Amino acid sequence: MKQNNFPKDFLWGGAIAANQSEGAWNVDGKGLSKTDVQSAGTVDIPRFSTYIDKDGNKGKLLPFQSLPEGAKSAVFEDTYYPYHSGIDFYHRHKEDIALFAEMGFKIFRMSIAWTRIFPNGIEKTPNQKGLDFYKNVFLELKKYNIEPLVTLSHYDTPLYIEENLGGWSNRKVIDLFDTYTETVFNEYKGLVKYWLTFNEINTTVMLKDLFLNYPQDQIKKDYQILHNQLVSSARTVKKAHEIDNNYIVGAMIGGGGAKYPLTPDPEDAFATRESLNESIYYTSDTMVKGKYPFYAKKIWNKYNVELETKESDFVDLKEGVVDILTFSYYGSGCYTTHEIKDMAGGNLMMGPKNPYLKYSEWGWSSDALGLRFALNEFYSRYEIPLMVVENGLGANDILNDDKTVNDPYRIEYIKEHIIAMSDSIKDGVDLIAYTPWGCIDLVSASTGEMKKRYGFIYVDKNNDGSGSFDRYKKDSFYWYKEVISSNGDNL
Ligand code: BGP
């Protein structure tokens, strides 16, 4: 008997991103992405980017810091860069896709590295080997009837653009991104149906909450960066529809969308609402409704933001509204106006610790009901199809001597979230897909570690880059396979 609410055509799958999985960082004409100069870190030690200053001294930058005058990004021989080898998806994708097919995936979220197609982001003609690589991946997926869901930009802007043009704060990058997206939309017509523009596009304006002493000037710049990306995203949606009206293009919002007041103090409730407006809805409202929300002005005033805009931007925003809304959800956050002792972080959030929730080894909360909360919030606001395109538990799995991995904690986590999604569908939410993050172990984005594993498939690679890179099925592999084949009945 059917126990859940998933529709027959529900898209079960998994998600990865180019920079965290492909490796082959300088192979077949690929240029450097800004993530290629990022070191490894830990939960306590932040990752940094490496450079040489104008006097030849080595230097390190935190994510929001800019290169000093005259400095150049550089790859150091004595530094380990975890993305350079990733999990070698570049060479092993056939084996990996076969494993996804064995689990019964209907959809697979991945991203294209802009630098494989246009190595510096500025060229006029694309790099054929880069185009061929993704074509082969899409063909391989097609073989198993797995629908690709392709993110066009997953935190990996070409390094050339970052260094020489000032990155996304420069409006010229909008045109360069147009060239890249138009190229891939034409190239992969018939092979791809679902596209996402920028991964966790709202991240830029959330950084200020993650680092102490975040520079005020940088906050203004962050709103400009986001504006340029929102315009770029809207133009991308328009272009996609012009090239193929079967293309479905989505927004991808990070940070979960579930945040609670820590106390019943009305001040806390209101401040929480304001915080959600700033971090999540400012971005998603603009992408879904085609214009900045009424409270945008208040936010700009708060941070003294004066956006550099063109009239055509507002036309683009209006005409380039997304078809679907997708988001990442790992756990919920709290907000308070009172003084707090216990802080907690996790996927772009930093705030008071919730005494009712469990926290992972990396300090991320686990809150399945929060997913139902977020799904209901997003759907009641927009009433367009939703996808949960990232979710999962990062844990330090152990590969047993017999090459098995017992990960009941992951099964438990995903199971609770599947129940929450099923309940949301019953609530009336039009949820069409679920792609848990890191369906195969990959390099962590926040810490650069390998041991923060999310996969149903174990990859034999260690934090320092050693290992055979061989793949092994975890217990959760067999469990998820059964979930998919029963369309969510057998949990
Ligand atoms: C999201 C990113 C992903 C991913 C995930 C998990 O913010 O879109 O790229 O890595 O978080 O984070 P982490 O890898 O830091 O555990």
The finding on whether 445 has its CB within 6 A of some atom of ligand 1 is yes
Q: How far is the CA of 254 from the centre of ligand 1 (A)?
A: 9
Please report, in angstroms and rounded to a whole number, the separation of the first and last CA atoms in the chain.
Answer: 14
CA separation, residue 178 to residues 60, 153, 183, 239, 439 (Å): 32, 12, 8, 8, 30
347 CA closest ligand 1 atom index: 7
Backbone angles phi and psi of 229, in degrees to 5: -70, -35
pLDDT at 348: 66
Q: How far is the CA of 312 from the centre of ligand 1 (A)?
A: 33
| Segments of 221-348 assigned E as strands | 248-253, 259-261, 324-328, 333-335, 343-346
Residue carrying structure tokens 């870190």: 41
Q: How far is the CA of 272 from the centre of ligand 1 (A)?
A: 24
Instruction: Please list the active-site residues.
Output: 200, 390
Q: Tokens for 234, please give them.
A: 């809207």
Q: Tokens for 97, please give them.
A: 């896709």
pLDDT at 291: 98
Containing 232, the helix (H) or strand (E) segment is: helix 216-243
348 CA closest ligand 1 atom index: 7
The finding on whether 17 has its CB within 6 A of some atom of ligand 1 is yes
pLDDT at 433: 98
Q: How far is the CA of 446 from the centre of ligand 1 (A)?
A: 6
pLDDT at 63: 75
Reading the chain (491 residues) residue by residue, the pLDDT tens digits are 456 899 999 999 999 999 999 999 999 999 999 999 999 998 888 899 999 999 999 999 987 788 899 999 999 999 999 999 999 999 999 999 999 999 999 999 999 999 999 999 999 999 999 999 999 999 999 999 999 999 999 999 999 999 999 999 999 999 999 999 999 999 999 999 999 999 999 999 999 988 878 889 999 999 999 999 999 999 999 999 999 999 999 999 998 789 999 999 999 999 999 999 999 999 999 999 999 999 999 999 999 999 999 999 999 999 999 999 999 999 999 999 998 877 777 666 678 999 999 999 999 999 999 999 999 999 999 999 999 999 999 999 999 999 999 999 999 999 999 999 999 999 999 999 999 999 999 999 999 999 999 999 999 999 999 999 999 999 999 999 999 999 999 99
| Identity of the amino acid at 341 | K
Q: What is the pTM of this model?
A: 0.97
The finding on whether 254 has its CB within 6 A of some atom of ligand 1 is yes
Mutate to test the pocket of ligand 1, among 155, 252, 326, 328 (most ligand atoms within 8 A of CB): 328
| Closest residue by Cα to residue 63 from 84, 85, 34 | 34
The finding on whether 201 has its CB within 6 A of some atom of ligand 1 is no
Backbone angles phi and psi of 15, in degrees to 5: -135, 145
pLDDT at 211: 80
Instruction: Give the domains, in start order, of the chain with CATH numbers.
Output: 11-37+83-485 (3.20.20.80)
Q: How far is the CA of 332 from the centre of ligand 1 (A)?
A: 15
452 CA closest ligand 1 atom index: 16
Residue of minimum CA distance from atom 16 in ligand 1: 444
The finding on whether 446 has its CB within 6 A of some atom of ligand 1 is yes
Helices (H) and strands (E) counted in the chain, each on its own, are 14, 19
pLDDT at 342: 79
Containing 234, the helix (H) or strand (E) segment is: helix 216-243
Residue of minimum CA distance from atom 11 in ligand 1: 347
Q: How far is the CA of 328 from the centre of ligand 1 (A)?
A: 9
pLDDT at 2: 57
pLDDT at 201: 98
Rounded distance, CA 17 to CA 30, Å? 16
pLDDT at 344: 75
Mutate to test the pocket of ligand 1, among 210, 347, 388 (most ligand atoms within 8 A of CB): 347
